[in-house]
């Protein structure tokens, strides 16, 4: 059988049956595309190759458990997810606790669906919906990078209040951004 003449759905069906030659053809057909997708986001050859290997290993290991309708879209989405998980794993701080000017590293996930400017607009809109005191605490802590003690002194409130309000803000922002990121990943796979 000439596997290189088979369509993606035919290869996926053979993959479900455990056909190693079908898997090898998928690998040959999509290695470069998945590598480019990974490298575009990571800018690191070794990391990009590791991500691609993880995606293809996962594809083989879970071959019978996947309902893949569009192989290319599935693989690209899997790459994006692996990159996202790599960012989360390697981040010293919780994922969304970095200052807004560093939010650009999310841009690769946005592709043409959202631009960084729109992401910042989303965060600005979120901020505008927060109570005034919480918004001010968030701005001083997150954007101006002031300490809890400094904010406490500037606003004449307790440090515990500053911590509580900031924590509440972070939970709310994380929720909004994680939903937005999930939407981006899902839409990018279509």
* CATH number, position 169: 1.10.10.10
Q: Is 150 exposed, middle or buried (0-12, 13-18, 19+ CB in 10 A)?
A: middle
Looking at residue 33, which CATH number applies to its domain? Answer: 1.10.1740.10
Q: How far apart are the first and last CA of the chain?
A: 31
Domain count of the fold of the chain? 2
- 106 in the same domain as 80: no
What tokens appear for 73 in the block? Answer: 């879209």
Give me the phi and psi of 96, to 5 degrees please.
-105, 25
Give me the phi and psi of 113, to 5 degrees please.
-75, -50
pTM of model > 0.75: no
- Identify whether the C-beta of residue 72 lies closer than 8 Å to the C-beta of residue 147: no
- 105 in the same domain as 76: no
- 136 in the same domain as 76: no
- 83 in the same domain as 104: no
With a CB cutoff of 8 Å and minimum separation 6, the contacts of 169 are 130, 134, 137, 138, 142
Quick check: 103 pLDDT over 80?
Answer: no
Confidence of residue 110 (pLDDT cuts 50, 70, 90): very low
Range of the domain at 176: 100-188
Within a 10 A sphere around the Cβ of 140, how many other Cβ atoms? Answer: 19
Q: Residue 24: what pLDDT?
A: 94
Q: Residue 42: what pLDDT?
A: 85
| Residue where a domain terminates, one of 90, 123, 153 | 90
Q: Picking from 38-47, 89-98, 100-109, which range would have the lowest pLDDT averaged per residue?
A: 100-109
| Residue where a domain terminates, one of 90, 121, 148 | 90
Distance CA 120, CA 175 (A): 15
- 111 in the same domain as 61: no
Quick check: 109 pLDDT over 70?
Answer: no
- 104 in the same domain as 184: yes
- 84 in the same domain as 36: yes
Confidence of residue 102 (pLDDT cuts 50, 70, 90): very low
């Amino acid at each position: 059988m000439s596997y290189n003449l088979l369509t993606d759905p035919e290869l996926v069906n053979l993959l479900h049956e455990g056909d190693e030659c079908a898997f090898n053809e998928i690998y040959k057909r999509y290695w470069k595309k998945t590598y480019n997708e990974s490298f575009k986001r990571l800018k690191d050859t070794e990391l990009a190759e590791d991500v691609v290997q993880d995606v293809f290993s996962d594809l083989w290991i879970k071959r019978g458990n996947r309902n893949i309708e569009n192989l290319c879209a599935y693989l690209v989405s899997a790459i994006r997810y692996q990159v996202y998980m790599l960012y989360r794993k390697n981040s010293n701080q919780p994922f969304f606790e970095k200052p807004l000017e560093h939010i650009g590293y999310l841009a690769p996930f946005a592709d043409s669906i959202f631009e960084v400017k729109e992401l910042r607009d989303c965060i600005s809109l979120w901020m505008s919906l927060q109570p005034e005191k919480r918004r001010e605490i968030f701005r001083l802590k997150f954007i101006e990078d002031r300490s809890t003690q400094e904010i406490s002194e500037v606003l004449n409130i307790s440090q515990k209040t500053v911590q509580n309000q900031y924590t509440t803000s972070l939970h709310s922002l994380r929720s909004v951004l994680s939903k937005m990121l999930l939407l981006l990943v899902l839409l990018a796979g279509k």
